[in-house]
Amino acid sequence: MSIRRFLIIAPTVITLVLLASYFWVPTYEEQTRGNPGRLEQFITTSIGDATLLNPILSANSASSQIEGLVFEGLIDRDEDLQYRGRVARDWRIYEHAYFYVNDGAQTASWGVLPGPELLLKLKSALKADPLVGPHLVAMDLLPAETILSDHIDKTDSQARTFAIQANAPERIRITLDHVDQLFFDRLAVFLGKDYFEQFDAAARLVCDPELPPRQLSILAREILPVTVHNPVIDFFLRPDVRFHDGRQLTAEDVKFTYEAIINPENLSPRTPDFEPVKQVEIIDPLTVRIIYKRLYSPAIGTWAMGILPKHLLDSEALSQEADRHGQDPAHFGLRQSDFNRHPVGCGPFVFQEWKSDQYIRLKQNPAYWEGPPNYHEYVMRIIPDTLTQEMEFYAGTVDDYNVQPHQVSRLSKDERFQHFSGASFGYAYIGYNMRRPPFDDVRVRRALGMAIDTQKIIDFVLYGQGERITGPFAKQTDYYNRDIPPLPYDPKGAEALLNAAGWHRGSDGYLQKNGKRFAFTLITNNGNQLRKAILAIAQDAWKKIGIQVETDLLEWSVFIQKRVNELDFDALILGWSMGINPDLFQIWHSSQTGKFQLNFVGYADPLSDDLILKIRREYDPVRQVQYCHLLHQRIAAAQPYTFLYVGRWTALLDKRIVRRVTDNAGHTAILPIVPTKTGGYTFHFNQWIKLSGPPNMAADG
């Protein structure tokens, strides 16, 4: 009897206890409307948790989102994607150009000249030159010197050390007030085309033991480069920027941040951005000078990187922290520091609390130099499931929601929300292995692209949430050449092109050339539904024009390691996500076509190579855009990829969230949130606030 009673009572009691808890839970109503503090709180969601909250160590999106609020860089980009000062109030970009005086060489204008006289002649000539003259700041003659260094040669199995003595001749330094990548071409007008080429650097090197001549001449060009551009950026910092612990941000911190990135022990994923830096000089506590080894225009953008506080992270602070944790200071670096979970920056929000896989909480920084943000609190909740995110958004405990493509048409009509949408930074494409016939023929690649109805893919696979793209630049930037028409959908034209390329339909209905059928394999990675759909669509479209296509879905790492990295594929579907920066070197330069490199389609075009380098070296935005348009045109004509689409994102926001701006006179205005040119809507985030009722914009002017 008692056992039976127990068997019935036990589950009943448990159920009752569990269900009774319902009466204690605050309802959504109490959380959102009954709580005035909620209006000063912005709550957003993220699929994944942050990793390390240190801008130089992490590169994932959740971490970056928090870092962007806690830390601040020297500069960032404004609504029109132009640079604007943040921690730096202003900056100046100029260059030092150097060249070695080539004793005994003929100059085009003045015959053979020794250094001092050459300097004088050149100075007056350059001053009169309409292109160089206005920008010429100074010219000096640097004395000859002897450079001693060690060269370690690792070409053989054992490393050998060579002692090198380089006898550098006199050198002329020209300071310009801007950066001119064509400067030495302009000098060649006076000095002659061969003046620089005839400079024999190898003859000025003394090696012990001797190096073979070929290696010697390579080394000589490294140690004694005849011409050098050293672009310089002077940043002038704001005097009123303080870290969250009250310490003023100075040039020391900027220099420290650079050194932390470069330090190999920190394994910073941002090292390549800062590799071209030659040195960072502190001019005074509020001025820092960055000197670059060579022309590298993306360099300016890299200073949007959050600045770290030196006093909390230098070697002294770290070894003290290691002592506190009872760890060996020798193995205690930036990566081990507690700072990565309790970051201190100088941004508009102060870090408060991080509960792994639950939430990260930030609060307003009242001492922010631009004035404190309107929101008192910023919370990022980690909700890994999109449907759960959506439910929380409807309930009002989350303020924004990133809409899935299939929901856009329904939710963008919803009266309760304001919605924003824009093109993503990235595109999907079909890439052809141009090393393999028949993909080495541009007509074939073009025909393959024309056979696919990309608009249909956008309409049906993406539910209309995509735009066509014709080239490799981010579509919302000026670098993208809008004059280039997308490939038309034209299967007839495609067949005609293939016929011209020598492919004709055989009796079996398939295209043939020299008795061989047009057949290849199209691959992509498993787990991406969009790519899987495109795979089937492309296969079908190409079958219609007589091409036999096999398809294969591979697990991501097999796909990358065995097929892409080893260049073992015919055609593949993939996507690039990218930044604003127009530097395309890794993906399109012909030097990057080897195994394990990113130009895996094997696109090699001398003209494009030249443009890619020019873009990289050009500091003038207008000219950079011109080069980009040319490169875009060039790549679109060659069709190494069939450029498919760039996706569109849509985000919903509670309608009560607006911008509240207070001007100097103390007048408060309520403004609507408007997306910027690039589609971003969070640009004015610091001005956002949630009203208790629906906003009435018209009444507020």
Partner 1 sequence: MLSYLGRSTLQKLVTLFFVSVISFLIIHLAPGEPSQIDPLNPKFTPEIVERMRKEFHLDKPLYSQYLLFYRDLFTGRIVSWKDNQPVLGKIWERFLNSLPLFIVGTLLTWTFSFPVGIRSAIGRDGVYDKSTTFLAYLLISIPGFFFAYIMIILVVTHLHVPVIGMETFGVTSASPLVHFMDRTWHLVLPSILGATGGVAVLSRYVRSQMLEIIGQDYVRTARAKGLSVETVYYKHALRNALLPFVTMFGLILPGLIGGSVIIESIFSWPGMGRMAYEAILARDYPIILTVNFLTAVLVLLGTLVSDLLYMVVDPRIKL
Residues 574 to 633 in contact with partner 1, rule: CB under 8 A: 586-587, 596, 598
16 binds partner 1 (CB under 8 A): no
Q: If binding is defined by CB under 8 A, does position 1 make contact with partner 1?
A: yes
Per CB under 8 A, does 27 bind partner 1?
Answer: yes
Of positions 222, 316, 323, 385, contacts partner 1 by CB under 8 A: 385
Taking CB under 8 A as the rule, does residue 556 contact partner 1?
yes
Of the candidate residues 157, 557, 668, 696, the single one contacting partner 1 (CB under 8 A): 557
- Per DSSP, the residues of 536-576 read HHHHHHHHHTT-EEEEEEE-HHHIIIIIITTT--SEEEEEE
Q: Is it true that the peptide bond before 384 is cis, omega within 30 degrees of 0?
A: no
- Whether the Cβ atoms of residue 305 and residue 72 lie closer than 8 Å to each other: no
Work out which of 279, 356, 409, 526 binds partner 1, going by CB under 8 A: 356
**What is the Cα 277 distance to its own chain's centre?**
18
Are 653 and 400 spatial neighbours (Cβ–Cβ below 8 Å)?
yes
Q: How far apart are CA 353 and CA 43, in angstroms?
A: 14
Nearer to partner 1, 96 or 632 (CB): 632
Residue 23: CB minimum distance to partner 1, A: 8
What does the alpha-carbon distance between residue 609 and residue 599 come to, in Å, rounded to a whole number?
Answer: 12
Q: What is the DSSP letter of 40?
A: G
171 phi-psi bin (left φ>0, alpha ψ -120 to 50, beta other) = beta
| CB closer to partner 1, 103 vs 583 | 583
Minimum gap (Å) between residue 411 Cβ and partner 1: 16
Q: How far is the CB of 422 from partner 1 (least distance, A)?
A: 23
Of 231, 301, 302, residue with least CA distance to 262 = 302
**Range 392-421, binding partner 1 (CB under 8 A):** 392, 394-395, 397
Q: Which is nearer to partner 1, 137 or 267 (CB)?
A: 267
Question: Which segments of 326-441 does DSSP mark as H helices, in order?
Answer: 386-395, 408-411
Torsion of CA 221, 223, 229, 234, to 10 degrees: 160
Question: Which of 72, 180, 273, 478 touches partner 1 by CB under 8 A?
Answer: 273
Shortest approach of partner 1 to residue 324 CB, angstroms? 16
Binding residue for partner 1, selected from 188, 282, 291, 560, defined by CB under 8 A? 560
Q: Does 561 bind partner 1 (CB under 8 A)?
A: yes
| Per CB under 8 A, 222 contacts partner 1 | no
Window of 383-391, 405-413, 443-451, 541-549 that interacts with partner 1 by CB under 8 A: 383-391
Binding-site member from 61, 124, 352, 358 for partner 1 (CB under 8 A): 358
**114 or 272: whose CB is closer to partner 1?**
272
What type of residue is 389?
Answer: Q
Q: Which stretch binds partner 1 (CB under 8 A): 7-15, 433-441, 474-482, 691-699?
A: 7-15
Taking the least distance from each CB to partner 1, the nearer of 508 and 555 is: 555
Spacing of C-alpha 233 from chain mean position: 20
Binding test (CB under 8 A) with partner 1, winner from 336, 412, 548, 682: 336
Which residue, 188 or 560, is less far from partner 1 as judged by CB? Answer: 560
What is the distance between the alpha carbons of residues 53 and 60, in angstroms, rounded to a whole number? 10
Q: Can you tell me the distance from the alpha carbon of 591 to that of 37, in angstroms, rounded to the nearest whole number?
A: 57
Site string for partner 1, 35-64 (x = CB under 8 A): x--x--x-x----x--xx------x-----
Distance of CA 418 to the CA centre of its chain: 29
Per CB under 8 A, contacts with partner 1 among 447-476 are none
Binding of residue 148 to partner 1 (CB under 8 A) = no
CA atoms within 13 A on the CB side of 32: 19
Q: Which stretch binds partner 1 (CB under 8 A): 130-138, 164-172, 252-260, 378-386?
A: 378-386
Q: Could you say whether residue 4 binds partner 1 (CB under 8 A)?
A: yes
Taking a C-beta distance cutoff of 8 angstroms, is the pair 26, 18 a contact? Answer: no
DSSP 8-class letter at 374: S
